[in-house]
Amino acid sequence: MAASQLDGSGRGPVRQDLDLGDVLSRIADELGLGWGTVLGLVVPTLLVLVVGVTLTVLLWRRTRGAPSNSTGADLFEGRVVTVTTAQGSRGQAFVEGSWWAVRTTGATLQVGQEVRVRAVDGLVLLVEDPDMHTTRDEGEM
């Protein structure tokens, strides 16, 4: 350490107040970069980083309270779907952009029939006739 950098007591370096320009200048000197490289590479990179973090925070704040639109099994329960193919108590329905196997424990399924999803068992929607569901609930009252 040079003597000019020590304080009067010889105990440590003299504290200097640095601004952003001094810091960037020292970094550029230490890396052997000129101001052209700093202004052409480092400043735009920092600008993109700041803008990216700002947009990420704004989007996170906007969507953190929004309801989930995932395709979890609980989102299907209670939904009315249309049977597209049927063979006895089994069939298929096109729900949320994909084909699902459907199965009923009651009467046989008919093509075009609207059924209510009662539960999800793996990749199979367990369904029932929506009219039976309403009637059974009214009978239990």
What pLDDT, in 10s, does the model give residues 76-119?
Answer: 888 899 999 999 889 999 988 889 999 998 788 989 999 999 98
Is the backbone of residue 104 left (phi > 0), alpha (psi -120 to 50) or beta? beta
Burial class (CB in 10 A: 0-12, 13-18, 19+), 127: buried
Q: Are 14 and 5 in contact (CB under 8 A)?
A: yes
The residue with greater pLDDT, 103 or 130, is: 103
Q: What is the pLDDT of residue 63?
A: 81
pLDDT of residue 123 exceeding 80: yes
Domain 73-140 - what CATH class? mainly beta
Q: Are 83 and 93 in contact (CB under 8 A)?
A: yes
Provide the residue ranges of all domains of the chain, joining segments of one domain with +. Answer: 16-63, 73-140
- Chain mean pLDDT for the chain: 78
Say whether pTM exceeds 0.75.
no
Nearest Cα neighbor of 110 from 136, 73, 85 is 85
What pLDDT, in 10s, does the model give residues 27-47?
Answer: 778 877 776 776 777 788 889
